[in-house]
Amino acid sequence: MREQASQSPGQNRARQRTTRRGAAAAAALAAGILTLSAFTPPPATAGRDAVQQSLNTLVTSDGFPAALAAIQDRKGHTRNYTAGVADLTTRAKVPVDGQVRIGSNTKTFTAVVVLQLVGEGKIGLDTPIDTYLPGLVRGDGIDGSRITVRQVLQQTSGLPSYTNDDDLEPRYYEPRDLLDRAFKHKAGFAPGSKWEYSNTNYVVAGLIVQRVTGRPLAAEIDQRIIKKIGLRHTYFPAPGDPTIREPHPKGYAQDAPGGPLSDITEMDPSWAWAAGQLISTNSDLNRFFSALLGGRLLHPAQLKEMRTTVPAGSPFAPNTRYGLGLLSTPLSCGGVYWGHGGSFPGYETRGGATDKGRAANVAVTLQPTDPKAMPRVEALVDKALCGAG
């Protein structure tokens, strides 16, 4: 979920608190609590370019156990980088292009499926969500007859986020359980009157997909995106599955700077669902965003709608703009890149692609407690897309 580490879309704080409970139990079972201050990461293989050097610094100076990057040039050639260790206990090497939980990058996948259905005439962007989910979206100031599909995708609906509470546990949730949590709170604002990040919007979007197609969201994402463009290392975990299938670095949680690290790699991801449940790799994310910008997933009219943006506020960086599940972020060398990014307990991912054909994604294996750490990850993305390395 493309958020700053200091506050991953409102939910990051809630997730970190949630994660601590799950992580504490996991650590007790494994008797495997590590202290970051006592851990000195080994230097990564000496890099000859600025990308590798920056990745090394994320480990040695910012304290991420592992950092991974995939950089795709304009010809489609990919170079992968790693730094740190995949497992703080065994000191195993970081798998090249290892799988990670990609958090809110999932929102872009969900939005693409919705927009494909718009192109097929099955969903209307400016149609009220009550048309597809009659009577489901109701609460204090919440009325699904006044909220459009576009507002849901663009985070302008006013729906409160189900991740704002402190008691979200890492267990199995049905999508409607998440809506029940959200609708205990009143609407944040009148639909269309402002912008505010809420995971609830994408749970609603996922339910619309299921109602319109009569199929699970996971199956639609798999058929319409993953298989269509050959994302060989991307999948939507089955309900209740806490594992990561392929080689991956472990994900860690930390309550405070210098505090203990807990292995939280395995957890039920259903609480994130259409907003953040996918597992993928950096190179697959590059392929996805490149295919999206290249017109392989959407008709021109729907891609134009997706790229029509409004100013985004917290938790995103200044001058970031939000489209329909797609962010534009300014580059230091001019222009913008398009992506989303994601936060999921144990993992942070940042990256995207440019209209000129470059793509870059970076993943780290800790949601940092230092608010200055994630901007350095984002700076690495900028460096890669502006031609370093």
Mean pLDDT by 10 residues, the chain (389 residues): 35 39 33 35 50 96 97 93 98 98 98 98 98 98 98 98 87 96 97 97 98 98 98 95 97 90 96 97 98 98 98 88 98 97 97 97 95 94 84
User: What 3-state class would DSSP assign to 278?
Assistant: coil
Task: Give me the pLDDT at residue 373, please.
Answer: 94
Single out the residue of 263, 151, 169 nearest to residue 208, CA to CA. 151
81, 249 in Cβ contact below 8 A? no
Q: What six digits make up the tokens of 241?
A: 């599955």
Task: Give me the pLDDT at residue 165, please.
Answer: 84
Task: Give me the pLDDT at residue 315, please.
Answer: 81
Could you give the CA distance from residue 355 to residue 85 in angstroms, rounded to a whole number?
A: 34
The model's pTM is: 0.90
Please name every residue paired with 347 in a beta bridge, in sequence order, or none if there are none.
Answer: 344
Task: Give me the pLDDT at residue 167, please.
Answer: 83
Single out the residue of 112, 136, 166, 127 nearest to residue 305, CA to CA. 112
Task: Give me the pLDDT at residue 240, please.
Answer: 87
CATH topology of domain 11-385: Beta-lactamase (3.40.710)
Single out the residue of 384, 385, 291, 283 nearest to residue 78, CA to CA. 283
Task: Give me the pLDDT at residue 387, please.
Answer: 82
144, 129 in Cβ contact below 8 A? yes
**Residues noted as catalytic:** 104
Task: Give me the pLDDT at residue 31, please.
Answer: 28
